[in-house]
Chain A
Amino acid sequence: MIIMLREKPFSELGQEMELTTTIKDVFDRVSKKQRLSSSKTQEVIDLVEQEIEQVLSKIQQPPPPNGGETNPKAILAELNAKLKEFGPTNQLDSSQKDLNMALGKYTKVIDKTFITDIAKAYRSVDFDQHTLNQIIAAHFYRQGLFDLGDLFTTEAHEPDLVSLKAPFLEMYAILEAMRLKNLEPALNWARTHRDQLLLKGSSLEMKLHRLAFVEMLQKGGDARAEALAYARTHLAPLARTHMAEVQRLMGCLLWAGRLDASPYAELLSPSQWELLENEVARECCGALGQSCESPLHVAIGAGVQGLPTLLKLANVMAAKRQEWGAMKQLPIAVELGKEYQFHSVFVCPVSREQGSEENPPMIMPCGHVLCRGSIMKLSKSSNRAFKCPYCPMEATVLQCRQLHF
């Protein structure tokens, strides 16, 4: 979804992960040591400065009336000895050592807790720069970041990619208008795409009119007449397909100006606008032949879920670098959330092979499903009856039907 429903602010959410609380403690120690070290440094410098200034003022004192020139050498020698004893460089070194220890601890803890090399599973295939730029530009335009997209296409020296903008301009114009409570562009769009929407079973046009109607009614007073006129023009034609809804809206007329007291109060909620914006965005994308989510977002999300497993695999396969580059299929299964399951994948429980055109899934009379290869093996390629591996029922090859998921 391009626009998100308002989510809970970060601050209201529950417990933080232990992972980060321990590391934060280690880092806070670093901060503390840093402050200590810098104040110590300040102290040391101040002290040395003080000593020197003291000697300076001593030397600058007018000579005693009875004596000749005082030899500064003795005083300076005294200063030198004093400073040497104080040993400022040693002091600075030791406070630095303290700080370095804290720094080292933090480095250790993040190196231990996090995966230091996430590129271990990266194969050195060339990602075509132009294709990648195309994907990024399309992503920016799809998210409505038109200026950013333009800036990117300029910097990447790909001026042609600007053409990817066009389909989304209309959509964002509509959404912008909706945010300013102007439903006209949305209604126009819904009207133009009426057939498509009906085919999908979408009631978008109805919902838009409903929202406009309710807004009108809220103004109260003379608005009732206006709303009635609106209903006659726009709601009446929809009555055939949305009878119940239209009747409900007609009922609203009785509460013009005080809908919040009526049984239809929820129609006033601001989330109605958000929900409708989301739906309009979804329908627009659908009409454009686009997905609901940015494909870049989906692909990166799948990468985030899959990478930890792939990295574990890369460790195991470290010795076989060439095999890694040449493999046709990942040798290990990666569990992804169901939001990333776009296709049906059948895995035969017996042979663990994935179903394909050459080796399709087949259902036995008992209802259990195996791949054709396994069934052939069980029946020894004849028409002899064999027992299902999962239940006592017997079957022959001819009784098994191919499935199409």
Chain B
Amino acid sequence: MEPEPLQNGDSAPSAPVPAPPSKMSNLEESLKLEHQFLKVPFEHLKKSMRVNHRMVEKEMSAVMLTVAEVSDRDMSREEAVHHLTSLVSRLQGLKRKLEESNKTEQLQAQRCRARLDHLGMLQVGNQREWSDIRVKRILVDYMLRLSYYNTAIELAEHSNIQDLVDVDVFLEAKNVIDALQNKEVAPALAWCAENKSRLKKSKVYDIPVVHVRSKLEFELRQQEFIELVRAKNSMQALAYVRKYLAPWGSTHLKELQHVVATLAFTSDTECEKYKVLFDAKRWDCLVEQFKQEFCRLYGMSLEPLLNIYLQAGLSVLKTPYCYEEDCTKEDPLSQESFRKLASSLPFSKQHHSKLVCYISKELMDVDNPPFVLPNGYVYSTKAMADMAKKNGGKITCPRTGLVCNFTDLVKAFIC
């Protein structure tokens, strides 16, 4: 029934509503959320390839250079033999290393392929199983981000999804994080150096931005400096500034000046501006900053997948009826813990009526229209017909106790 447009004036303009999509395209839509799933192992593979290539390049250049050098000098046979033999062994060593790293690359490539296979497997028929695995993947991601490594590994092994989760990538990060928590910056600095060429890329425009250095490196250097000041190693601290912090002066002068000024204070200073620099919590900030850079590099979201999906899910499920006493147990929002999480989230919005029979829990639609009792309570046709059959044509409203005849019911037309 097409409604005639009412001259109502105050009706809120509604956004165009898309037609309910078919099941298969629904599945496709859900797959499109899996960017991280493919990106992370691929970035890992690219990194290995980069490292390998650099190693080969370095060794080969060194060999070429040596050959050029020795061909330019006068030398005895023994010397020449000595040089050439060392070159040969160098190349052999390179080949051995390459064998190892090729194996690693192969495994990483296999993992990328395995994930593509997994995505391709999703069908309407196995949706249940596939969703189950998705929940497990999301939980492993959560565990890894919160550093609950044992739980993550156990869950991955128990469900046999090791190829589908990024435990090894996060374990790499673990080393850096553990060191930072032990107030050591060395592994973090090494990580920055290793990924220098990648970190320089601007994510916004996706072009290499040559002179932008990772801020994390600056922060790490600052912290090391502060620790030197804390230990009252003024001479060392000054040398440190000259060597490692001064280059940042061109881009971050104010910050640099602020931190260097700590030399004038002691670590138990009461001056607010400088007390904050000596705060041990700065180490926790460094850990957070590292985690963020790390996630950004690998194409991972900054927040755990669990939070993202839960926030969306709770919001689209949230209705005022969820908070009523008799809310069905099947609704997650009937539980206190879920209600708490959803408290600051917006309510869902519906464009069309969707009615659920109180008795059968089925949708009351064109095939099973709603039936209205004399007291205004509504149930589905099927539920009412069932009840009438078992009770000699009589209906008892389960919520009010009103008894009436099946023939007293009136059909409601919901547009």
- Residues of chain A having any CB pair with chain B under 8 Å: 4, 7-8, 10, 13-14, 16-17, 19-21, 23-24, 27, 30-31, 34, 38, 41-42, 44-46, 48-49, 52-53, 55-56, 59-60, 69-73, 76-77, 79-80, 83-84, 88-89, 92-93, 96, 99, 103, 106-107, 110-111, 113-119, 121-123, 125, 127-128, 131-132, 134-136, 138-139, 145, 147-148, 151-152, 155-156, 286, 289-293, 295-308, 310, 327-338, 340-347, 349-354, 356, 363, 366-369, 374, 377-378, 389-390, 401-405
Counting from the closest, the 9 A-B pairs by CB-CB distance are A303-B313, A306-B316, A295-B332, A303-B309, A20-B120, A114-B35, A302-B313, A342-B331, A349-B415
Question: What is the chain B residue whose CB lies nearest that of A367?
Answer: B413
Q: Are the CB atoms of B358 and A328 closer together than 8 Å? A: no
Q: Are the CB atoms of A20 and B42 closer together than 8 Å? A: no
Q: How far is the CA of A125 from the CA of B311 in the complex (A)?
A: 9
Q: How far is the CB of A80 from chain B (nearest CB, A)?
A: 4
Bitwise, B329-365 to A at CB < 8 A (1) or not (0) is: 1111011011011001111111111111010000110
Bitwise, B1-26 to A at CB < 8 A (1) or not (0) is: 10110101011101101101100101
Q: How far is the CA of A13 from the CA of B299 in the complex (A)?
A: 32
Given the complex, which residues of B lie within 8 Å of A152, measured CB to CB?
143, 148, 151
A48 touches which of B60, B76, B148, B352 (Cβ 8 Å): B60
Known: A56-B85, A369-B413. A307 touches B33 (CB 8 A): yes
B329 touches which of A125, A291, A354, A403 (Cβ 8 Å): A291
Given the complex, which residues of B lie within 8 Å of A20, measured CB to CB?
31, 116, 119-120
Q: Are the CB atoms of B35 and A115 closer together than 8 Å? A: yes
Known: A299-B338, A306-B315, A335-B20. A151 touches B150 (CB 8 A): yes
Question: What is the chain B residue whose CB lies nearest that of A111?
Answer: B35
Q: Are the CB atoms of B3 and A349 closer together than 8 Å? A: yes
Q: Are the CB atoms of B71 and A344 closer together than 8 Å? A: no
- Of the A-B pairs whose beta carbons lie under 8 Å apart in the complex, a sample of 27, sorted by A's number, is A10-B121, A38-B105, A45-B56, A45-B94, A72-B80, A73-B71, A89-B60, A89-B64, A92-B53, A132-B310, A148-B158, A290-B329, A302-B314, A303-B310, A303-B314, A304-B30, A306-B312, A327-B346, A329-B348, A329-B349, A333-B348, A334-B349, A343-B327, A344-B321, A353-B12, A369-B415, A390-B1
Q: How far is the CB of B134 from chain A (nearest CB, A)?
A: 7
Q: Are the CB atoms of B352 and A347 closer together than 8 Å? A: yes
Q: How far is the CA of A44 from the CA of B306 in the complex (A)?
A: 48
- B96-122 residues at the A interface, CB under 8 angstroms: 98, 102, 105, 109, 112-113, 116-117, 119-122
A80 touches which of B26, B68, B376 (Cβ 8 Å): B68
Q: How far is the CA of A136 from the CA of B151 in the complex (A)?
A: 12
Question: What is the chain B residue whose CB lies nearest that of A56?
Answer: B84
Q: Are the CB atoms of B80 and A389 closer together than 8 Å? A: no
Q: Are the CB atoms of A155 and B95 closer together than 8 Å? A: no
Q: How far is the CB of B282 from chain A (nearest CB, A)?
A: 22
Q: How far is the CB of B162 from chain A (nearest CB, A)?
A: 15
Q: Are the CB atoms of A342 and B317 closer together than 8 Å? A: yes
Q: How far is the CB of A296 from chain B (nearest CB, A)?
A: 7
B414 touches which of A38, A148, A301, A369 (Cβ 8 Å): A369
B91 touches which of A10, A34, A45 (Cβ 8 Å): A45
Q: How far is the CA of A23 from the CA of B301 in the complex (A)?
A: 22
Q: How far is the CA of A301 from the CA of B340 in the complex (A)?
A: 19
Q: How far is the CA of A8 from the CA of B130 in the complex (A)?
A: 12
Is B244 at the interface (CB under 8 A from chain A)? no
Known: A298-B330, A343-B319. A333 touches B158 (CB 8 A): no
Question: What is the chain B residue whose CB lies nearest that of A353?
Answer: B12
Q: Are the CB atoms of B412 and A369 closer together than 8 Å? A: yes
Q: Are the CB atoms of B128 and A7 closer together than 8 Å? A: yes
Given the complex, which residues of A lie within 8 Å of B310, measured CB to CB?
127, 132, 299-300, 303
Q: Are the CB atoms of B8 and A135 closer together than 8 Å? A: no
Given the complex, which residues of B lie within 8 Å of A46, measured CB to CB?
95
Question: What is the chain A residue whose CB lies nearest that of B9?
Answer: A377
Given the complex, which residues of B lie within 8 Å of A306, measured CB to CB?
312-313, 315-316
Q: Are the CB atoms of A299 and B4 closer together than 8 Å? A: no
Q: How far is the CB of A36 from chain B (nearest CB, A)?
A: 13
Question: What is the chain A residue whose CB lies nearest that of B73?
Answer: A73
Given the complex, which residues of A lie within 8 Å of B102, measured CB to CB?
38
Is B67 at the interface (CB under 8 A from chain A)? yes
Is B185 at the interface (CB under 8 A from chain A)? no
Known: A79-B67, A116-B35, A335-B18. A132 touches B308 (CB 8 A): no
Question: What is the chain B residue whose CB lies nearest that of A80?
Answer: B71
Q: How far is the CB of B62 from chain A (nearest CB, A)?
A: 11
| Residue of A10, A88, A145, A292 contacting most chain B CB atoms (<10 Å) | A10
Given the complex, which residues of A lie within 8 Å of B123, measured CB to CB?
13-14
Is B168 at the interface (CB under 8 A from chain A)? no
Q: Are the CB atoms of B125 and A8 closer together than 8 Å? A: yes
Q: How far is the CA of A151 from the CA of B151 in the complex (A)?
A: 6
Q: Are the CB atoms of B135 and A342 closer together than 8 Å? A: no
Q: Are the CB atoms of B354 and A344 closer together than 8 Å? A: yes
Q: How far is the CA of A148 from the CA of B28 in the complex (A)?
A: 32
Q: How far is the CB of B98 from chain A (nearest CB, A)?
A: 7
Q: Are the CB atoms of A308 and B32 closer together than 8 Å? A: yes
Q: Are the CB atoms of B356 and A17 closer together than 8 Å? A: no
Q: Are the CB atoms of A350 and B6 closer together than 8 Å? A: yes
Given the complex, which residues of A lie within 8 Å of B316, measured CB to CB?
302-303, 305-306, 310, 330, 334, 336, 340
A293 touches which of B21, B38, B46, B330 (Cβ 8 Å): B330
Q: How far is the CA of A93 from the CA of B54 in the complex (A)?
A: 10
Known: A114-B32, A118-B35. A350 touches B126 (CB 8 A): no
Q: How far is the CA of A60 from the CA of B322 in the complex (A)?
A: 89
Given the complex, which residues of B lie within 8 Å of A342, measured CB to CB?
317, 321-322, 327-328, 330-331, 356
Q: Are the CB atoms of B42 and A300 closer together than 8 Å? A: no
Given the complex, which residues of A lie within 8 Å of B414, measured CB to CB?
346, 369
Bitwise, B347-390 to A at CB < 8 A (1) or not (0) is: 11111111110100001100000101001111000000000000
Q: How far is the CB of A316 from chain B (nearest CB, A)?
A: 9
Q: How far is the CA of A330 from the CA of B314 in the complex (A)?
A: 12
Is B139 at the interface (CB under 8 A from chain A)? yes
